[in-house]
Structure 1
Amino acid sequence: MVPGTDVAPPIVRGTAAWRYFGDSRDLLLAGQVLVLQVAHPVVAAGVRDHSDYREDPWTRLMRTVASLSIYVYGGTKGAQVEAKRLRELHRTFIGVADGRRYSALDPGAYAWVHATLVMAPVDAQRFFGRPMSTSDLDEYYAQMCGIGRILGVRERYLPPTWPEFERYYRETIARFGPNETISTLFETIDTVGKPFARMSDRRWATLQKGYSTAQMFLIRATLPPELRDRLGLQWTDEDARKFARFCRATRMLGAVIPTALRIAPMRTVGKLNVWLREHPRTYRFFVRS
């Protein structure tokens, strides 16, 4: 299989991936997903050596959201083009970590990043919505496997069923522990700069404290408990009660918002980014390569 050329059935309106992948509540797990990704030693080394998230985390976040939106809401052709672009970009991300050479296209590491993105909407529904039914999980996972094949994830890292994927996910996390990149990520959350240049420093100083507190709380709340313990993140009974109240409130709010509106931002971004990719001059104007 040539990455970016595999064809998967298009994700159409009303199917599981269409309903869940772009749910706005998924963004509440952004910090959790980042921690899980950089817990992998190869991903950690690549981020440490090649990512600009410490200097410009907001732009990095927007690029990531834009890229993800294409896979589900940009059509099969858009997903193929984006997959090829990402493979070419990451091909240059090589280096040495702990005396060993690494590549961002290491099959296990590349598959793990995809796995975290597969699991995030499932976790988001479990925490903040209504847990997916067995039939929804089966349909959703089959669709995400199709996206994985477009991305070039090897078949051995795409277990055929959801229960087998869950087992692979748990077994992979069991090998993770603290590392330098996770520590740097936590420091970046605590010291992140303002998202808009026109925002006053004084106003951001007030907002930043609330942002970092909330983000670290959500990370501690949603990480798998065994990894949270290995990272030395405290979690108390009062934290658990506070998170339960937050989940109830988010669940109630989500219940009154139609699905089409909950996913509207990601759908719009996905379609816009496909158009921008088809108009490269305009794309380069808005987004740095």
Structure 2
Amino acid sequence: MTIAESTPRQRMSAPGEGEDHLINNTDSEIELVPPGSITAEQTGRFTFLPVNGAAFVMQVMHPVIGDVVGKYSVFRTDPGGRAIRSIDSVLRWVYGGEEALAEGKRLRKMHQPLQMKNAQGKHISALNPEAYQWVIATAFPTTLSAGPLLIGREFDGKERQEIFRDNRRIAKIVQVPMKGYPESIEEFDEYFDDFIENKLVAHEVALELIAQMRQAPPIPESVPAALRPAAIKAAKIATSPIQNLNYLTTVGVMDPRVREILGLSWSDREQRDLERMHRVIRRSYKVLPERLTYFPLAYHARRHHAAILAMKKRENAGAAYHVRERQD
């Protein structure tokens, strides 16, 4: 869904007072994502973008989300800007500290006006509880499916539990109504199967997003008409490798049943190409400095966390004062 600029954190009031009836989780109920967690490590990397893209496509396969995004989102006219603003928001959830709480409340209130009548004349809202839950839920299966690409193997049982725990933490941060939200991986599996079998559709917005990944980025209107054909060709050539990585990752991490709903094929060759690309990326991550592989907020948050850990290590190595034990 569309992400706007941040607004100052607002006071929590009693339910029903002003706009605060939109707030589902009080600050005391919310736990922040640990800076050393798998979620924090993976979300901060540039390679998170196409995995996030897979989640976004799955989100708009829910009819309510698809309709609302189709009417209100700027993904058609400003796809790059929408992606940047979305990742800005996600990074604040994970790395923002107290700002994560403010961002979650801002998002909840920002989505309140996004209401409309669908093609059947039924009133729908971006704050539909089932739809709002699904937005955050999609991150869990896409992250697990991306494990072999991101870390070179499947996440083990303990890691899966940690990722699920942080998914619930993020759900509370962004003010998802938690009634009915899966409380265990076993419950999530049933929840996910139900969505695939009974709720997701090949929404036109999802198909537009997939098609958009194969297209060159839009050329600014300021480019003269005579130069536009050459500019479009140059943009297509320049962005082709990134577009290919984005498309293959987005489609590759989807559950095969989701691809089937969308009518997308997936070949052995595409799977090999996807794995080859991410092998190169994983090797690059081992030698490149973090400043070149992490989003700026993530990079500085990780440096801050590393500095704190170093201080604790020094603290445990010796005492600042030597106090002689009392002799009785």
Using the size of structure 1 for normalisation, the TM-score is 0.80
In structure 2, the CA distance between the partners of 1:225 and 1:269, relative to structure 1 (3 Å rule), is farther
Match of 2:235 in 1: 204
Match of 1:277 in 2: none
Structure 1 residue 253: Cα displacement = 3.4
In structure 2, the CA distance between the partners of 1:67 and 1:236, relative to structure 1 (3 Å rule), is same
Match of 1:193 in 2: 218
In 2, are the aligned partners of 1:22 and 1:267 still within 8 Å (CA)? yes
Higher alpha-carbon deviation: 246-255 or 175-184: 246-255
1:35 aligns with 2:57: yes
Distance across 2 between alignment mates of 1:116 and 1:149? 15
Higher alpha-carbon deviation: 79-88 or 220-229: 220-229
Match of 2:173 in 1: 150
Match of 1:239 in 2: 270
Give the letter aligned to residue 90 of structure 1.
H
Q: Which runs of at least 4 in structure 1 moved beyond 6 Å after TM superposition?
A: 195-200, 258-261
Give the letter aligned to residue 152 of structure 1.
Q
Structure 1 residue 261: Cα displacement = 7.1
1:181 aligns with 2:212: no
In 2, are the aligned partners of 1:29 and 1:120 still within 8 Å (CA)? yes
Q: 2:100 aligns with which of 65, 79, 98?
A: 79
Structure 1 residue 151: Cα displacement = 1.9
Match of 1:60 in 2: 82
Structure 1 residue 98: Cα displacement = 2.8
Structure 1 residue 96: Cα displacement = 1.1
In structure 2, the CA distance between the partners of 1:244 and 1:16, relative to structure 1 (3 Å rule), is closer
Distance across 1 between alignment mates of 2:293 and 2:88? 16
In structure 2, the CA distance between the partners of 1:42 and 1:258, relative to structure 1 (3 Å rule), is same
In structure 2, the CA distance between the partners of 1:260 and 1:9, relative to structure 1 (3 Å rule), is farther
Match of 1:25 in 2: 47
Structure 1: gaps spanning 5 or more residues: 272-289
Structure 2: gaps spanning 5 or more residues: 1-14, 16-22, 303-328
Structure with the bigger RCO (C-alpha within 8 Å, sep 6+) is: 1
Match of 2:280 in 1: 249
Match of 1:95 in 2: 116
In 2, are the aligned partners of 1:3 and 1:84 still within 8 Å (CA)? no
Structure 1 residue 24: Cα displacement = 3.0
Distance across 1 between alignment mates of 2:274 and 2:243? 16
Cα-to-partner distance string for 1:107-153 (whole Å, 9 max, x where unaligned): 01101111123343333323331433322222332232122123222
In 1, are the aligned partners of 2:133 and 2:176 still within 8 Å (CA)? yes
Give the letter aligned to residue 63 of structure 2.
P
Give the letter aligned to residue 215 of structure 1.
N
Distance across 1 between alignment mates of 2:247 and 2:37? 33
In 2, are the aligned partners of 1:58 and 1:195 still within 8 Å (CA)? no
Alignment of 1:125-140 (within 5 A): 125-129=147-151, 130-140=153-163
Q: 2:142 aligns with which of 105, 112, 120?
A: 120
Match of 1:167 in 2: 190
Cα-to-partner distance string for 1:141-195 (whole Å, 9 max, x where unaligned): 2232122123222223432222322332233123323122123223433253159
Match of 1:284 in 2: none
Q: Helix, strand or coil for the counterpart of 1:174? A: helix
Higher alpha-carbon deviation: 198-207 or 21-30: 198-207
The two structures, once aligned, show a CA RMSD in angstroms of 3.1
1:224 aligns with 2:249: no
Number of positions where the alignment pairs a residue of Structure 1 with one of Structure 2: 270
Distance across 1 between alignment mates of 2:172 and 2:259? 31
Using the size of structure 2 for normalisation, the TM-score is 0.71
Match of 2:31 in 1: 9
In 2, are the aligned partners of 1:33 and 1:117 still within 8 Å (CA)? yes
Task: Give the number of the structure whose alpha-carbon radius of gyration is greater.
Answer: 2
In 1, are the aligned partners of 2:126 and 2:132 still within 8 Å (CA)? yes
Distance across 1 between alignment mates of 2:221 and 2:278? 29
Higher alpha-carbon deviation: 45-54 or 162-171: 162-171
1 or 2, which has the higher helix percentage? 1
Structure 1 residue 29: Cα displacement = 1.7
Distance across 1 between alignment mates of 2:243 and 2:180? 34
